[in-house]
């Protein structure tokens, strides 16, 4: 899932000018809010819109080379998360290429900020952002990443370069983005004299699903859009709850990052440490006439999105994905073309497993079997994906 976004630790959703901003002032503001001091200067590179796009796409290609991208595309299409004719590379370009106001690169230790302003005429969201001078807050967001990197080494502490478990990686990304987003919102509160209640209300507004289309655009597949926003919005909720605004408690998140998106969605599980994700194996699975091409872990968050894409309503999908204990999938490519998968899941209780099983009752493209708290989902050979995905519905 968020392997697609690994290097892009801070993709901001407005394209506003950073030209003329007092970087040192914003650096000091970030230190004050976050309760940490920079150990060395941050290298800041200002770019025009075209240059920023080039940097974003270069980082995307570096993090997800064409071969890996092709494998990832096959997995997403196998589960109906991308329409059959979709091009994942183009979808990522649409999502990230023209949206970035800034990026912090933890490998090069560089902060890139976009200088030119591109404003959509008559767009109230951009009008509001311009009025509030949101560009400064985006720089603070980037600064928060750089500050955390100097103290905790993001790649090492969050294991962002490790592959094989996208659920764990998505959780780690949520910790990093949640910290930076909370710092940004705190700067907004301070600047505009907002109370904690005001910030909570603003956060609830930005967490609304209706914002997806406004900020990101309807041409981006929903799974990609939701994945991107998960790290910011659910990450911020997670960080706020587990830290209570205390710097020491927030720092602990880097020393002990969440192990799953389940812990991000249910912070109490992270705090109690009593429900770690269980290991699930798909070793030994094979499909005659097909070769394995992709393997991974979806996690609770992605499981909910999959159920919704397969036809369950939002509320039903959220309920059915709760109680997730662990999962592992493997995708096979048939010799003559087409994808099949085996998806093994384990649930906290047998009741949770039955709810998940029941949520799949109307999905004709899969066969479901349950044994106690374990549920296995297999795609049916010769069956098309769910009707919604087959039609290319993205929202």
Token pair in block for residue 12: 């901001």
In angstroms, rounded to a whole number, what is the distance separating the alpha carbons of residues 95 and 263?
A: 26
Model confidence band, residue 382 (pLDDT cutoffs 50, 70, 90): low
The pTM (predicted TM-score) of the whole model is: 0.87
Task: State the burial class of residue 348 (Cβ atoms within 10 Å of its Cβ: 0-12, 13-18, 19+).
Answer: middle
pLDDT at 387: 43
Query: Among 171, 145, 305, 276, which residue's Cα sits nearest to residue 234?
Result: 171
Model confidence band, residue 85 (pLDDT cutoffs 50, 70, 90): confident
pLDDT value at 117 more than 70: no
pLDDT at 98: 61
pLDDT at 391: 37
Instruction: Report the mean per-residue pLDDT for the chain.
Output: 82
**DSSP-derived pairing of the beta strands 110-114 and 43-47:** parallel
Model confidence band, residue 216 (pLDDT cutoffs 50, 70, 90): low
In angstroms, rounded to a whole number, what is the distance separating the alpha carbons of residues 261 and 267?
A: 10
241-280: per-residue pLDDT in tens? 999 878 888 999 999 999 999 999 999 999 999 999 999 9
Of the two residues 241 and 216, the one the predictor is more confident about is 241
12-39: per-residue pLDDT in tens? 443 344 455 788 999 999 999 999 999 9
pLDDT at 215: 56
pLDDT value at 123 more than 50: no
Q: Is 290 left (phi over 0), alpha (psi -120 to 50) or beta?
A: beta
In angstroms, rounded to a whole number, what is the distance separating the alpha carbons of residues 184 and 132?
A: 13
Least confident of 8-12, 70-74, 151-155, 212-216: 8-12
Share of the chain above pLDDT 90, in %: 49
pLDDT value at 9 more than 50: no
pLDDT value at 386 more than 60: no
Of the two residues 369 and 54, the one the predictor is more confident about is 369
């Amino acid at each position: 899932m968020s392997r697609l976004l690994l290097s892009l630790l801070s993709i901001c959703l407005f394209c506003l000018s950073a030209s003329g901003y007092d970087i040192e002032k914003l650096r000091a503001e970030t230190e004050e809010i976050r309760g940490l001091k920079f150990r060395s200067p941050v290298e800041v590179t200002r770019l025009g819109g075209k240059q920023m796009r080039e940097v974003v796409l270069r980082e995307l290609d570096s993090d997800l080379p064409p071969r890996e991208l092709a494998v990832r595309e096959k997995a997403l299409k196998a589960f109906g998360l991308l329409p059959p004719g979709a091009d994942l590379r183009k979808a990522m370009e649409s999502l990230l290429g023209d949206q970035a106001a800034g990026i912090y690169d933890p490998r090069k230790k560089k902060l890139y900020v976009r200088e030119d302003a591109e404003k959509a005429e008559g767009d109230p969201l951009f009008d509001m952002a311009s009025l509030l001078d949101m560009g400064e807050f985006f720089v603070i967001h980037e600064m928060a990443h750089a500050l955390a990197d100097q103290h905790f080494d993001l790649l090492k502490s969050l294991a962002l370069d490790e592959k094989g478990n996208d659920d764990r990686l998505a959780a780690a990304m949520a910790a990093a983005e949640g910290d930076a987003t909370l710092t940004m919102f705190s700067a907004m509160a301070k600047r505009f004299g907002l109370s904690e209640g005001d910030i909570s209300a603003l956060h609830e507004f930005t967490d609304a699903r209706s914002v997806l289309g406004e900020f990101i655009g309807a041409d981006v597949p929903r799974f990609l859009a939701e994945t991107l926003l998960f790290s910011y919005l659910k990450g911020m909720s997670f960080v706020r709850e587990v830290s209570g605004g205390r710097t020491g408690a927030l720092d602990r998140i880097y020393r002990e990052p969440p192990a799953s998106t389940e812990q991000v969605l249910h912070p109490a599980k992270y705090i109690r440490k009593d429900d770690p994700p269980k290991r699930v194996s798909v070793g030994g699975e094979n499909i005659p006439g097909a070769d394995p091409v992709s393997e991974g872990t979806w996690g609770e968050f992605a499981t909910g999105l999959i159920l919704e894409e397969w036809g369950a309503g939002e509320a039903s999908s959220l309920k059915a994905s709760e109680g997730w204990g662990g999962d592992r999938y493997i995708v096979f490519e048939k010799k003559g073309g087409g994808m099949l998968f085996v998806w093994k899941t384990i649930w906290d209780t047998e009741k949770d497993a039955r709810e998940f099983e029941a949520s799949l009752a109307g999905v004709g493209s899969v066969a479901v079997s349950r044994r106690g708290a374990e549920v296995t989902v297999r795609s049916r050979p010769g069956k098309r994906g769910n009707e919604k995905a087959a039609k290319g519905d993205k929202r």
